[in-house]
Amino acid sequence: MLHKDKEKLLLWAIPAIWIEEEDYMAGLEDCKNHLHGRIILSKGDAPPTHLDLNKKLQLVWKALGPWKVILLDKGFYEFEFSSLEDMRWVLPSFLKLFSKTKDIVPSTMKSVLAG
């Protein structure tokens, strides 16, 4: 006999994946030290290679525990930190967060590492 919630999923007649709560919570815990970001360059600037970005960040993030940058897609990256404290240190110091508004034109912006 199927679990009651699994029966409901089958009744919807749409593809669904059942994730046990323990696995779901473990996944949430793993994501707490991750950020997704995009490098915004001026029109015509060549994006840095994954290796170049790693080398530049190693120079300014020396004091941090282990971290890594994962290329997601053109200009989009996932930053994985070993601790929440390291991630919080990076946020105000090196990464800018903003909501997209009509007056922000990404093609005219250039990212700069501050330090």
Whole-number percent of the chain with pLDDT over 90 = 5
> How are strands ordered across the β-sheet holding 67-73?
34-38, 76-81, 67-73
Task: Answer whether 0.75 is exceeded by the pTM.
Answer: no
70-to-17, 59, 87, 101 alpha-carbon distances in Å? 25, 17, 15, 27
Is residue 33 within 8 Å of 81, Cβ to Cβ?
yes
Lowest-confidence segment of 10-19, 41-50, 95-104 by average pLDDT: 95-104
**Side chain identity, residue 65:** G
pLDDT of residue 48: 82
Taking 50 as the threshold, does the pLDDT of residue 35 lie above it? Answer: yes
Q: What is the pLDDT of residues 58-98, one digit of tens each?
A: 888 888 899 998 888 777 888 899 998 998 888 766 666 55
